Structure 1
Amino acid sequence: MAYPVDDIKEAFQGFTEIITEVTNLVNQGPSNYPGVYSVIVNIHQGILPVAYSLLTLYFLLDFMDKSMNFSFVRIENVVSTLLKLLFAKLIMAHTLDFLDIIFGLSSFVTSMIGHAGTNISLYHIDFTAMEAAYAKMGWFDKKLYAIKQTPFTWILQGIKLVIMLVVFGRLFQLLIYTAAAPIPIATFVHDQLKEKGRRFLFDYAAVCLQGIIIIIGCIVYAAIIANVNFGFFTGQGENIELWKGMLTALALLMVVVKSNAWARKIMGD
């Protein structure tokens, strides 16, 4: 097989294979890195005393505000306030468990989607036209073609690196959210601040949902690229399929880069 054609095939087929890589990385939560996770848990435990102090402060402020507004005239309001304190204390004490449940649900969905889309045989890319055209070319034309296709190969490799960077960035975000979780959780006890705690849980869920969007984007890319009949650089527009493959890869890059914003919109942000 000719070297330039091999490069193009390797670049595009690598994007099909990236589905498996991305699925594995997306399903790797904080606990999949024991060394790092132990550090995150230690930070989490170190923040807990501060969070409990904030929880107490928020409770007192809420209690004083309701007392001044005579909200405790009815016994139901007193019971409701105390139950809210117990609820906030329970969530804070089991924050790691709650976050693991949220991540576990998203990981289950991404595993199902990824398993359905990682069958490489479903995405056979047809390079027949490209191979046949290359075989008929002379030595000079082959060298010229090698120069023409090089930018495509570089751009595709660059896109792949950016995708992996975004996926790793998502993992860092999950780690940081896990470490700092007690602070926003403390706001659950205060009526006017509890929206911040709920927003935090929604944001964490959005980061988990981001992984699902990335996996779906990779599968859609692979399905589209499988229907591209790769042509050749002839100077007469017959290489439009190669450009189509490149634009599809750029579209996948856009999906991955914007996956966080889309996840937040889906979660209602």
Structure 2
Amino acid sequence: MASPVDDIQEAFDGFAGIITEVTSLVTQGPSDYPGVYSVISEIHQGVLPIGYSLLTLYFLLDFMSKSMNFQFFRFETVVSCMLKLVLAKVIMEHAMGILDLIFGLSSHIANLVGTVGSNPTLYKIDFSAMKAEYDKMGWFDQKMYDFKQMPFIWILQGIKIVIMVIVFGRLFQLLIYTAISPIPIAKFIHDGLVDRGRRFLFDYAAVCLQGVIIIIGCIIYIAIIANVNFGFFTGEGSNVELWKGMLAAVILLLVVIKSGSWSKKLVGD
């Protein structure tokens, strides 16, 4: 029968392995799911005429605004307006390629971070010392130890589920952003709305960056547990260190939940 120390080791090894799994999922973009991506591409093509219509409307509104303010008396204003129209049309036509480029950059960063963080040699834990200490305990102390360890193991399992839900939710965001991208990109043509068009690209980049933050959070958590808490889960002071371990797990959960808002701040929101 497995001891609670074995359960902790299994839970921790599984959590360390989740870095590799999360990295694999984070580096998979919309185009890595051909069946889904074809549907998204069809939706994108269906929305594209709406994007062109909005592009024309925003251009006319901007043109009328500048005309009423007599800005077109200046040659540079006319040239600037026409260049913006051409640029907006090019961005509209290559929207999916631009989004794929942004995702590719974040995927490369995530892969670099995940490859380093998934190295098992970085997390050296002496489980044998814990097991030896556990074997010295009496029957009652062992049962109490079993009871104390259960919440920690449950928290680890719960965090794994939350991480997977958020990672898959991030993929849904990327797919939706890709499908409707022509609508916000049309705002690039209007001087008063161009910041909102840029904001869409920043938001897409933030969703991509969210995966990197989740990976780094998992790596930091495992490093903290491996180097501080696990060696003291038995013996004198074990209760304090156990609570520290559970507190660190809860903090990681908050980091994962807040990863979306943090990524937006990092890209300039």
> What TM-score does the superposition give when structure 2 sets the normalisation length?
0.94
2:18 maps to 18
Q: Summarize deviations over 1:32-77 as a string: whole Å, max 9, x none.
A: 1111111111111110011111111111111111111111102221
Q: Any stretches of 5+ residues in structure 1 without a counterpart?
A: none
RMSD: 1.7
1:153 maps to 153
Amino acid at match of 1:242: L
1:246 maps to 246
SS in 2 for 1:191: coil
Does the CA contact (< 8 Å) of 1:29 and 1:171 recur in 2?
A: yes
Amino acid at match of 2:265: K
- Aligned ranges 1:71-110 → 2 under 5 Å: 71-110=71-110
1:180 maps to 180
1:230 maps to 231
2:171 maps to 171
Amino acid at match of 2:195: E
Is 1:53 the counterpart of 2:53? The answer is yes
Q: 1:232: Cα distance to partner?
A: 4.1
1:31 maps to 31
Number of aligned positions between the proteins: 268
Higher mean displacement: 209-218 or 129-138: 129-138
SS in 2 for 1:106: helix
Q: 1:18: Cα distance to partner?
A: 1.3
Q: 1:233: Cα distance to partner?
A: 6.0
Amino acid at match of 2:147: I
Does the CA contact (< 8 Å) of 2:134 and 2:142 recur in 1?
A: yes
**Partners of 2:47 and 2:114 in 1: CA distance:** 36
Q: Summarize deviations over 1:240-263 as a string: whole Å, max 9, x none.
A: 322222222222222111111111
Does the CA contact (< 8 Å) of 1:133 and 1:232 recur in 2?
A: no
Q: Summarize deviations over 1:108-146 as a string: whole Å, max 9, x none.
A: 111111111111122122223421221122334333332
**Partners of 1:227 and 1:103 in 2: CA distance:** 34
Runs of at least 4 residues off by over 3 Å: 138-141, 229-234
SS in 2 for 1:64: helix
2:217 maps to 217
2:195 maps to 195
**Partners of 2:240 and 2:129 in 1: CA distance:** 12
Q: Summarize deviations over 1:162-186 as a string: whole Å, max 9, x none.
A: 1111111111111111111100000
**Partners of 1:230 and 1:14 in 2: CA distance:** 18
Does the CA contact (< 8 Å) of 2:134 and 2:234 recur in 1?
A: no
> What TM-score does the superposition give when structure 1 sets the normalisation length?
0.94
Amino acid at match of 2:56: T
Amino acid at match of 2:249: A
Does the CA contact (< 8 Å) of 1:27 and 1:111 recur in 2?
A: yes
Residue 217 and residue 161 in structure 1: after superposition, are their counterparts in 2 closer, same or farther (change >3 A)? same
Does the CA contact (< 8 Å) of 2:30 and 2:171 recur in 1?
A: yes
Higher mean displacement: 95-104 or 5-14: 5-14
Amino acid at match of 1:264: K
Q: Identity of counterpart residues, as a percentage?
A: 69
Amino acid at match of 1:172: F
